[in-house]
Every structure is written in C-alpha cells, then in structure tokens.
Amino acid sequence: MSKDLSIVIPVYNEEESIPELLEWIFRVIDEHKIDTEVILVDDGSTDQSWPAIQEHAKKDSRINGIRFNRNNGKSDGLQVGFNESAGEVVITMDADMQDSPDEVPELVRMVKQEGFDIVSGWKKKRHDPISKTLPSRFFNMVTRKVSGIALHDFNCGLKAYRSEVVKNIHVYGEMHRYIPLIAKWSGYRNIGEKVVEHRARKYGTTKYGMKRFITGFLDLLSVTFVTRFKKNPMHFFGSIGILSFLTGFVITVWVIAEKLYRQYNNLPRRDVVDQPLFFLALVALIIGVQLFLAGFLAEMMIQSRSKKDEYLISDRTKED
C-alpha cells in the first residue's frame, strides 16, 4: 500500500535511542498528518536493539523491522530499506538521534512541492570534535570537485528522495556517502540541500573512526570508476591497453630499426637484448595485451551477470 512517506533507519547497537527516536518521529508526523511507515533495519546488532524494534513494531503497525543475519554495513541497510519502502518520499536518518525528526516535514515539502529528486542535509553547525570536522570538510571539498555536485555535507545521514530515485539506484559496500553522485550519474540531477540541526550524541559511542576518511576516498575513486565505466569497461581498459601496446610496439620497432641501420652502415651497435629500453617495450606490450583482455572479460561478465543481494535477512516484524 502506497504511503506519503517512508523513513528508513539503519540500526547498529542503538538500543537506548530507539524508543526515544520513535516517539519523536511519530509525534512529528502525527502533528503534520503525514501517512508514514518507519523501516528499521537492524544491521546485525549485538545489543538489545532487535528486541526493542520487535516490541515497538507490535505496538504500532507503522513500524517495519528487518534484521540482518550479520553486520553488513550501512549501505546494505539502506538498500534493503529502499527496496521495502512504499512512500512517495523516502527519508533516511541515523538511529543515534543526532538527526532531528523535526526536519522531516520541510524535507517532504521540498521534494513534493519544489520538485527535488534529492534533498541532502547540511550539518552546518556540528557538535563534533575538530578531529572529525576538519577531515570531513576536506573530504567534502574533494568530493564536490570530483562529482560536480555543490553539496557541503555528502556524509549527512539525513536525506530525502523521490521514490523513483531509490528504486532505480543500487547502493553497496560503503557507497552510502555517494548516493547523490550515484543518483546524478543515473540521470537524477535536481539535487538540493537544506541546513539541518546536528545534535550531540546522547547515547552510546560513534561507530566510525578516522579510518572512514581513508576508505571514503578509496570509495570515491571506486564509485567514480564503476559509475562511469560499469556498462562499457572496455572503454577504460581497452584505451589504456591500446596506448600501452602501441607505445611498446613503437619502441620495439625503433630499437630494431636502429640496430639494422647501424649494421647496414657499419656503425657501432649493441644487441637488441642488451638494451634496457627493449625490455621496457616488451613490458608495455604485455601490459597492453593484459589490459585489453581485462576489458574484454569485464564486458563478458557484464553481459552474463545476474543481480544478487549479498545480505541475508534472518528475521522481520512483518511478513511478506
């Protein structure tokens, strides 16, 4: 059954915040009379998060709880939430209560009335130590330059989407940071931004450390490559492979031609195999062939691949 709004919340060891967060969400949506479902995806929590979700789902039919068999990561949590969502607008938020549900009505309005495909939250004033804010600003600056999307905070968990967007993109690995980028390259270019309240963490501890900034840049390279070349990897591998092969071929011909010229004119000469340049040319030839074959194999895999979800759901509060 279609809803006005789906709120997707990945959960990992947030048992203390769940009751308060749900109470806050329903207070806001009831006040604004928004027909809403709340999808809580337990990402293999080791505390009492899942029993808390089950308890609240029994009390309120608007809650849909889904539990992973193990910890898969935030991206898989969002993806299964997107798959399950029935709302015209889909909003994502974190379960740690650092995102304010009071932002929900305005986010819904911006998508429905202003026609945005995506509205991304911007935590302009953050309640985080400088050890997190400075790397985050640098990370966002680099992502803006690479993606061409003028957002200040790509990593903000509070975002709103038209349903069509989340149904036509696939989020995996740690690519949740780059959903606006994935959406843009899928044709959804009307991306807006809203300054949102960032609250200090009330319960528990952060699940992310400095490691995420290193992996974040690797993920940026990955999503840039995959999005641009996933349908035609031969364009990438083949182009570099041909360039490498031609470079090696030209050098090889030049080395051999030079020897023949010197031999014909009785000039001093070295054997071809005594010249390091010849071996560099052979390496370039081999690498060129390998890259071309890699592109060819990637094209074959794309033609025969089958989509398969890698997460395993062990329980849910609503049956299909």
Output the tens digit of pLDDT for each of the chain's 320 residues.
Answer: 689 999 999 999 999 999 999 999 999 999 999 999 999 999 999 999 999 999 999 999 999 999 999 999 899 999 999 999 999 999 999 998 889 999 999 999 999 999 999 999 998 887 666 666 666 777 788 888 877 888 988 888 999 999 999 999 988 777 888 899 889 888 899 999 999 988 877 766 665 555 565 666 666 676 667 666 666 778 788 889 999 999 999 998 988 888 888 888 888 877 777 888 888 999 999 999 998 888 888 777 765 654 444 566 667 877 66
Both 56 and 169 in one domain: the answer is yes
pLDDT at 230: 66
H/E element, 246: helix 233-264
Whole-angstrom distance, CA of residue 272 vs CA of residue 279: 9
pLDDT value, residue 36: 96
Q: How much is the pLDDT for 231?
A: 67
Structure tokens at 302: 């794309």
Residue 315 falls inside a structural domain: no
Give the span between the Cα atoms of 112 and 109, in whole angstroms: 5
pLDDT of residue 33: 95
Is 318 a domain residue? no
pTM: 0.73
pLDDT of residue 8: 97
Do residues 182 and 76 share a domain?
yes
Residue 249, domain extent: 233-304
The predicted structure's pLDDT at residue 209: 53
The helix/strand/coil state of 53 is helix
Nearest to 18 by CA among 79, 97, 93, 90: 97
Task: Tell me: do 23 and 170 sit in the same domain.
Answer: yes
Q: Are residues 145 and 283 in the same domain?
A: no
Q: Are residues 27 and 171 in the same domain?
A: yes
CA atoms within 13 A on the CB side of 69: 5
Query: Do 123 and 246 share a domain, yes or no?
Result: no
265 occurs within a structural domain: yes
Query: Which pLDDT belongs to residue 306?
Result: 42
Q: Which of 28, 195, 315 is nearest to 7 (CA)?
A: 28
> What are the distances in angstroms from CA 283 to CA 116, 124, 212, 236?
51, 51, 36, 19
The CA angle 246-249-250, to the nearest 5 degrees, is 85
Total domains in the fold of the chain:
2
At 217 the pLDDT is: 64
